[in-house]
Amino acid sequence: MVLTVSVELTDEDIRLFNDYAKEHDMTSSELVKASIYDIIENSYDLQELREAVKNSTGVSYTIDEVDKILGFT
């Protein structure tokens, strides 16, 4: 299945879009797909964070504390 999407962009948006795609050696379709996946991934990450905060015991550690606890430093 293929979905074709039409998006209205200003001239400035088009310039930014094309510059970004070119700079990252991506086609327009690849950039749009990557952007959609990033949005979805961010949404899932936010859900996970909210769930972790909801279930938190209130105890947290800095990365330095974790390193020390695990014997890395």
Asked whether the CA dihedral 56, 62, 68, 72 is positive or negative, the reply is positive
User: How sure is the predictor about 69, in pLDDT bands with cuts at 50, 70 and 90?
Assistant: very high
Residue 48, token pair as written in the block = 């996970």
Asked if pLDDT for residue 43 goes beyond 90, the answer is yes
Which residue, chain included where needed, has tokens 């400035």? 12
* Sign of the CA dihedral running 12, 31, 5, 46: negative
Kindly report the pTM of this predicted structure: 0.71
DSSP 71: T
Per-domain boundaries in the chain = 29-73
